């Protein structure tokens, strides 16, 4: 992929094979800690399978992967905006890490979806899907495009997202679609940490000063109208779930409510009592926010098609 952000992600996953020295090698000039690429499913592996025809999603599966991929992509773009702006340097890196995790999931899902979306048998690449689709072609839910707001609002969004994604990916590891199951298996461990991160901050902000508690309550109130859309079923997911490939969103609501409820109880917060927003993201209907996100995200790739740097 050709953006600076994704180059970082790529070099993290496979660029350090030659510098895995460190203390074990006994080299006194080496870094105190060893860097290794580790073994995990990479978007490049999925791209290879899609190109060679080893992994071929059905139209339905591709649409489903597009939904999950767009959720992660839009959130990654939102979180990336915090870089250099977080309240502390350490938190800057934490949010950046979460953004990169989400970008990794987006790349995997979009690459896989592209396998069924191309013309004349050529799959569409992750770049085609990320940079050259228009607003109404995006399938992300409205929660993901909500503005960052202050730190508490971002934490509130992250809290909902991570508890939702954890329950979703945990179940999706049992999907009959091997690629979806594999992406979910990698993602679920990362999202587990995102849960820990956001729950920690909800507790800290709610139990901190009057100001931080007020902001936390306000942030949750801003995000809660968009919770309902995450758990809405439609014909596509029902069809896929019958075949064992997808997770019915409504089936994870109970666990979501229970687990977020535990954090709310510990933080002595109440579940916000706010009406639901209309939603429609899965059908390509978005709020005014998405257009601005896409303008910023897509401008370079559209201005200089095929650019590499």
Partner 1 sequence: MTPHGNPEVPASSATEINRSAEKVSPAVEPVETRNAWGLWEVFVRSSRGLSHVHAGSLHAPDAAMALRNARDLYTRRNEGVSIWVVPADAIAASDPDSKGSFFESPQGKDYRHATYYTKSEGVKHL
The reply to whether 215 sits near partner 1 by the rule CB under 8 A is: yes
The reply to whether 196 sits near partner 1 by the rule CB under 8 A is: yes
Binder of partner 1 out of 51, 56, 218, 253 (CB under 8 A): 218
Binder of partner 1 out of 33, 84, 120, 308 (CB under 8 A): 33
The reply to whether 28 sits near partner 1 by the rule CB under 8 A is: no
The reply to whether 286 sits near partner 1 by the rule CB under 8 A is: no
Q: Mask 220-239, x = binds partner 1 (CB under 8 A)?
A: --x-----------------
The reply to whether 38 sits near partner 1 by the rule CB under 8 A is: yes
What is the full DSSP assignment across the chain?
--SHHHHHHHHHHHS-GGG--SGGGT-TTS-SS---------HHHHHHHHHTTSS---HHHHHHHHHHHHHHHHHHHHHHTTTTTSSSHHHHHHHHHHHHHHHHHHHHHHHHHHTTT-STTPPPPHHHHHHS--GGG----GGGGS---SHHHHHHHHHHHHHHHHHHHHHHTT-SSHHHHHHHHHHHHHHHHHHHHHHHHHHHHHTS-HHHHHHHHHHHHHHGGGHHHHT---HHHHHHHHTTSS--GGGGHHHHHHHHHHHHHHTT------PPP---GGGT---HHHHHHHHHHHHHHHHSTT---
**Nearer to partner 1 (CB atom), residue 181 or residue 203:** 203
The reply to whether 214 sits near partner 1 by the rule CB under 8 A is: yes
**Nearer to partner 1 (CB atom), residue 200 or residue 238:** 200
The reply to whether 27 sits near partner 1 by the rule CB under 8 A is: no
The reply to whether 147 sits near partner 1 by the rule CB under 8 A is: yes
Interacting stretch for partner 1, rule CB under 8 A, among 56-64, 107-115, 160-168, 191-199? 191-199
Interacting stretch for partner 1, rule CB under 8 A, among 20-28, 69-77, 118-126, 228-236? 20-28
State the Cα–Cα distance between residues 84 and 273, nearest whole angstrom. 34
The reply to whether 81 sits near partner 1 by the rule CB under 8 A is: no
Binder of partner 1 out of 14, 27, 36, 307 (CB under 8 A): 36
Site residues, partner 1 (CB under 8 A) = 12, 16, 22-24, 32-38, 88-91, 93-94, 97, 147-150, 153, 193, 196-197, 200, 204, 214-215, 217-219, 222
């Amino acid at each position: 992929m050709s953006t600076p952000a994704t180059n970082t992600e790529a070099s993290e996953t496979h660029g350090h094979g030659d510098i895995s020295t460190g203390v074990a090698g006994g080299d006194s000039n080496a870094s105190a800690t060893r860097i290794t690429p580790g073994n995990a499913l990479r978007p490049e592996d999925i791209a290879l399978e899609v190109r060679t025809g080893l992994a071929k999603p059905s139209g339905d599966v591709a649409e489903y992967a597009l939904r999950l991929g767009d959720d992660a992509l839009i959130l990654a773009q939102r979180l990336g905006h915090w870089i250099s702006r977080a309240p502390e340097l350490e938190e800057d890196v934490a949010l950046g890490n979460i953004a990169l995790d989400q970008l990794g999931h987006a790349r995997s899902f979009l690459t896989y979806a592209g396998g069924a979306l191309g013309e004349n048998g050529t799959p569409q690449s992750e770049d085609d899907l990320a940079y050259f689709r228009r607003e109404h072609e995006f399938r992300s839910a409205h929660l993901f495009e909500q503005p960052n707001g202050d730190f508490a609002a971002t934490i509130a969004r992250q809290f909902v997202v991570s508890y939702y994604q954890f329950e979703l990916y945990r179940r999706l590891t049992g999907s009959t679609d091997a690629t979806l199951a594999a992406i979910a298996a990698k993602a679920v461990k990362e999202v587990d940490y995102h849960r820990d991160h956001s729950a920690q901050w909800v507790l800290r902000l709610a139990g901190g000063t009057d100001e931080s508690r007020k902001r936390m309550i306000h942030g949750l109130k801003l995000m809660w109208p968009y919770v309902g859309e995450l758990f809405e079923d439609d014909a596509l997911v029902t069809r896929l779930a019958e075949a064992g490939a997808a997770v019915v969103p409504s089936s994870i609501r109970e666990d979501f409510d229970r687990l977020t409820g535990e954090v709310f109880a510990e933080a002595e917060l109440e579940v916000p009592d706010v009406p639901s927003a209309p939603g429609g993201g899965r059908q390509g209907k978005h709020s005014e926010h998405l257009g601005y996100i896409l303008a910023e995200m897509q401008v370079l790739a559209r201005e200089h098609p095929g650019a590499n740097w």
